[in-house]
Amino acid sequence: MAEKLYYTMGEVAEMLCVSQTLLRFWEKQFDIIKPHKNKKGNRLFSPDDVRNLKIIYHLVKERGMTLAGAGKQLRAGRGGVERDMEIAERLSAIRALLVEVRNELYGDGVLVDDGVVEEDVVFGRAEVIEEVTEVSVPTQGYVEQTLF
């Protein structure tokens, strides 16, 4: 999404995949969230507010911290948390790439219970077409890495 001066509550909720109610709740719980309000009372979040909400989301939803623990972490400093978030985002992108590669190798089937599953769209059933438990991929030199 392009950098804007302000994001509406709906846009921010969509970015984070959370409800607007949760955003209002976090606004009350964390002092660092200070959205501007227009004449109608609609909340408008600055890019800094969005970054702070992403940090809160990471701490609470991804790392499983309590709200009190997340608040304490934010007061202690955001540098380490932002680094952790960046690493988590990179790992998610790598995982998505690996899933894409796996799907290219095995077609549209998905890997379930150590087997490649091919879905029958017409009858809505799935069957194991090939057992796969481990895949080794040669890397630089003679070292092999196990993907599964």
The amino acid present at 80, given as its one-letter code, is: G
- pLDDT for residue 113 is more than 80: no
Highest mean pLDDT among 31-35, 129-133, 144-148: 31-35
pLDDT at 77 over 50: yes
pLDDT category of residue 63 using cuts at 50, 70 and 90:
confident
CATH topology of domain 7-83: Multidrug-efflux Transporter Regulator; Chain: A; Domain 2 (1.10.1660)
In the chain, list all ranges with CATH 1.10.1660.10.
7-83
pTM, two decimals, is: 0.56
pLDDT recorded at residue 122: 47
How confident is the model over 69-92, as a mean pLDDT?
78
Q: What is the mean pLDDT of residues 137-146?
A: 50
Helix segments in 2-117, DSSP class H: 9-16, 20-29, 47-57, 67-76, 79-106
